[in-house]
Amino acid sequence: MENFAPRWVILGLGVFTSHRSAWFVLIGGVEICFALSESVPIFFYFLAICFLFLSLNYQSPILAQ
């Protein structure tokens, strides 16, 4: 049960930070990871990928609209 809180935090962060479909693909990926294995390291790897994704797309024109 303790894994649900971080998942909803990341999901909320994604919804409010970026409306791009690629973000929801990442969310779907982490849902699959949690479905396959309820291990914490997978979540931390996903966190690193998310922050990398956000930093790469921070200057995106879609955010300037």
Instruction: Please list the rounded mean pLDDT of every run of 10 residues in the chain (65 residues).
Output: 59 60 67 65 70 64 51
**Looking at residue 57, what is its pLDDT?**
61
* Cα–Cα distances in angstroms (integers) from residue 61 to residues 17, 36, 40, 42, 43, in the given order: 14, 36, 34, 31, 29
Supply the pTM of this predicted model: 0.30
**Looking at residue 51, what is its pLDDT?**
73
**Looking at residue 1, what is its pLDDT?**
45
Domain boundaries, the chain: 20-58
